[in-house]
Each structure stands twice: as structure tokens, then as C-alpha cells.
Amino acid sequence: MPREILPNAVLEKLRCIGDADAAKAFDTDRAAAEDFRRKVHKVGLTRAVGALDPKRRDGLMGEGIAMADSAATRVRPDPGRLRVAQRMFGRFTPEITGALLLAALPQSYATMHGSKVLAATGALETDLVRRVRGTAQFLLVVTQPAQDDREAQYLWRPRSDPKSEDSGAHLPWQVCTALRLYHETIRRRVSKATPKETTAAYGGVPLNQEDLLGMMLTFSITVFEVLEQYGISWTAEEQEAYLHLWDVIGAYLGIGTSDVVDEIEPLLAARKYSIEGWAGLRPPSIADTRALLDQIRHRQWAMGETTTAISYTVGPDGPRSLSDGRLLASALLDELACAMPPMLKLLPATMMRTLAPEVVRRRLSLGGNGAVLRALQLLPGRRNIVDRFTSVSTPNPVTGRVLRAMANEVSTRATVRFLGSEGFTIPGHEQWSHGFNRCI
């Protein structure tokens, strides 16, 4: 059993909480919100705002700015740390992209309830390509580099910007707010007639606070875990800066708002827990953040349940829980395989198996790797002495380099494929992206 950072009762409570502010924004103009959802499906998240009717857009943007303002006061973006995080992203772009595509996304598909929501939102196959590209585009926007502290602040400061609104959401705060609103439209769309039926179908409110928190931590901590497998280690400051970036993104996505904290406060007090000094729902230290993700994984991957083979046919959490995740993994693998040359078409699956924990491999029916990769992973690691009583193990340098090169091959080719798709742009290089688009 992993260490309890938040009591399980609190995590259960978080499953019943959605996003009150976004719900209010949705209710202000339902037709505009629904139109926005359709536009996201049609032209993508970043261009959906620009594609809206100006009247509707103004109303939605007003609500969006209010939500973003509230987020900015809760977790104040620190320009210095944001720039460190952006620099790290720039330096390790293929590695981080690979970690997200080959480890974080599969891990999120392996969750008990999250994949059901993804599956319930429509045509999985065609939608998945859009989703994967949308995720990649979202990451490029939120991690776009700033020249100095002033620009870093500018990127995250909510304000009305008619010029930007016409061309779409290309600033981090805009794209986060657009995604937050999109999440609310999904909540409304997949919810059943009664809350009881919804809870039975998704284990709580769709896209609830626990699912969002789990997703945010997966996207940040999994990157560290994968880089460690390559033998790349970041300093504590760099890790904290990267986590801070995700704290800010999380706040703009409505994770751990003051309403949420108010709702869980009595439960925390009753168990003598406190989240004073936390960044939203994330504990302040890196070790505790990792432990919290482990706790959520343990719950979401049903690791406490029986893990006999039958659980991989039917699923301890219902017959559909595994099949949705497996289908999503399959569609992701298809998309990645399409980006590879014929000789390397099996490489994405190989890397996904290598980077995924055993429970994820089983839940997603990914299989095991062959003798060569298995042997490579068994090569003895290096032990680094930290101080008199502490040592840290790092993987064998050969293993790390080989894995890194293989994963980079996949992520680079996938990125080129994404760049070739219509509407995919690199912030600050819009013209170049469109030109690349046409070349491909």
C-alpha cells in the first residue's frame, strides 16, 4: 500500500466534485458553450475561440477571464520558475514528448474511470487522432518560451485581447481556460439522467477533481520517471520549476479551486490533515507529490483488487473498464506506427511496453518485451553516493542511452507527423508551421 498523502475519504470526495466556476460559465450561455464544443471538434482547441460568432465569443471570453483571474490569484505564476521549466522543456523536447506519448498517455488510459469518459465522448478512433494532436498542441502552447520575466508574466496574465481572439487561443492562459470550458461541456454531455447513474457509470462526476489531479500529476511526475530511466536527472530546483508550471496549468484548469478546498476542508479537519501551503491540491515537496501520484495510481489502476488473470479479461472494475483503455492504447499505437517507416513500425509498441509499469502493461494488454530489451534492462545500474548513509541508484548508462535513442526516434517522427496535420502550429512560428504543413 502506498503512503497516504491525502486520506482516501478525501479522494473519494474529490470524485464527486466537478468545476463549479466552469459550470457557472456554461450556464451563462449554454448555446455558446455547445457551439464552442462543436468548434473544438471541428478546428481544434486553439482555433475554436476564434471560430466562434463574435457575440458569443465575447460572452464566453468574459467568463473565461474571470475564471483565469481567480486562478491567477490562487497559484501566482512565478516568472523565474516558469522560465526554468520552459527552458527544460526546450532542452529535452523529444524526451518529454516521448514521455508524454509513450508513458503518460498510456498510464491515463489504464485508469479505471478516466478511459470510460474518453470512450463516452464519441468516435474513439477518429477522435483519438484529434485528441493526441490536441494534447501535443496544448503542450506546445503552455510551454512556449519567454524571452524574459516580463514576457513570462505576459503569457499568463488574463486579459481581453481582440487581436489574439480572432486568430485563436495562442497564449497559455487562453488555451487552459478554453480547455477548462471544454471539459465542462464534456461533463454535461456524458452525464446521465441522474447523479446516481452518472456515478455508477464513471465512478463519480465525469472529469472530477481526482481524475484531473491524477492527470496533472501523471503529466508532470511521469516525465521525471521516464527521464530517470534514460539516466537523465534534473536538479531539485529544475523539478520544482517544472512542477510549478503544472501547478499554474492545474489552477487555470480549475483543479483545487477555493470551492473545492472548502468542500474537503471538514473531512481533512476530521482526520487531522492540513493542506496549508499546498499548491492547489499538490503537496509542497517533490517526494510527497510522487507519493500522492502513487496513491492515486493505486486507486485508479485497481491495484488493491485481485490481479488474477481473469481481472484482465473482465476487469475487477467492470467489463468495459479495460476494453476502453485497450482500445485507446491501440488507437494511439496505430497513430504512432503511422509515423514510423516500415522497418520501425513495431518500435512505438516496444517503447510503450518498456516505459510502462507492469500493471499498465497488463491492463492495456501491451505484452512483454523480448529477450534483448529485457536483458538490457537487467544490466547492473550505477550507485551514486549522496552522503554517508544515502545512495541513489541510476540505470546502466548503456541501457539509458539505448532507450533514449529509441524513444526519441518515435517522438521525433510523431512530432513531424503532427506538424504535417492541418491547424497544428508552433507558437511564435505560425507561418513556418503553415509552410511545413503544406510541404508535408
- Which residues here bind another protein, judged by CB under 8 A? 123, 125-126, 308-310, 312-314, 319, 323, 326-327, 330-331, 333, 337, 345-346, 349, 361-362, 365-371, 374-375, 378
Which of 31, 25, 118 lies closest to 39 in space, CA to CA? 31
Alpha-helix runs per DSSP H in 191-285: 195-202, 209-229, 236-252, 258-270
Q: What residue type is assigned to position 66 of the chain?
A: A
Q: For residue 323, how many C-alpha atoms fall within 13 Å in the half-sphere facing its CB?
A: 6
Tally of CB atoms within 10 A around 117: 23
Shortest distance in whole angstroms from residue 133 CB to another protein: 17
Would you say 187 and 208 are in contact if contact means Cβ atoms under 8 Å apart?
no
- 76 or 374: whose CB is closer to another protein? 374
Q: Rounded to whole angstroms, how far apart are CA atoms 259 and 262? A: 5
Shortest distance in whole angstroms from residue 392 CB to another protein: 18
- 365 or 421: whose CB is closer to another protein? 365
- 180 or 353: whose CB is closer to another protein? 353
Shortest distance in whole angstroms from residue 351 CB to another protein: 13
Q: Rounded to whole angstroms, how far apart are CA atoms 135 and 335? A: 14
- 11 or 336: whose CB is closer to another protein? 336
Q: Rounded to whole angstroms, how far apart are CA atoms 191 and 80? A: 41
- 135 or 330: whose CB is closer to another protein? 330
Alpha-helix runs per DSSP H in 301-318: none
Shortest distance in whole angstroms from residue 329 CB to another protein: 8
Shortest distance in whole angstroms from residue 291 CB to another protein: 23
Shortest distance in whole angstroms from residue 42 CB to another protein: 17
- 277 or 341: whose CB is closer to another protein? 341
* Non-local CB neighbours of 359 within 8 Å, separated by 6+ positions: 110, 301, 303, 307
